[in-house]
């Protein structure tokens, strides 16, 4: 939605990306199943992995990398 830059005291420049708000992350979803003492359905796991691999393929094809790929940074609807 927007991009802005910040400079810290060491003269480093950081690019900040602003996206739409999504309240659910993959980490939240995993924790919800964990609290209910249930497994994530295999179909859901396959769907998440397929979407994630498609996303990685797309950003890598644009020469963009993601340094902090973890469940808490994967937003879901």
Residue 15 has a pLDDT of 86
Residue 73 has a pLDDT of 87
Instruction: Domain count for the chain, please give it.
Output: 1
Q: Is 8 part of any domain?
A: no
- Cα separation, 39 vs 36, in Å, equals 9
Q: Is 5 part of any domain?
A: no
Q: Tell me the average pLDDT across 50-75.
A: 90
Answer whether residue 77 shows pLDDT above 90: no
- Cα separation, 17 vs 36, in Å, equals 34
Q: What is the pLDDT of residues 3-34, one digit of tens each?
A: 999 888 777 888 888 888 888 999 999 999 99
Cα four-point dihedral sign 23, 3, 47, 41: negative
Answer whether residue 42 shows pLDDT above 90: yes
Quote the mean pLDDT of the chain. Answer: 90
Q: Is 66 part of any domain?
A: yes
68 is catalytic: yes
- Cα separation, 48 vs 74, in Å, equals 10
Q: Is 12 part of any domain?
A: no
Q: Which of 2, 12, 47, 68 is catalytic?
A: 68
Domain that holds residue 56: 22-76
Q: Is 1 part of any domain?
A: no
> Would you call 23 helix, strand, or coil by DSSP?
coil
Contact 39, 45 (CB under 8 A): no
């Amino acid at each position: 939605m927007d991009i802005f830059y910040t400079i810290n005291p060491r003269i480093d420049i950081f690019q900040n990306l602003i996206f739409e708000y999504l309240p659910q992350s993959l980490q939240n979803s995993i924790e919800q199943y964990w609290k209910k003492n249930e497994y994530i359905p295999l179909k859901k796991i396959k769907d998440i992995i397929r979407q994630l691999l498609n996303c990685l393929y797309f950003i890598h094809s644009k020469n963009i990398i993601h340094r902090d790929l973890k469940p808490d940074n994967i937003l879901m609807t």
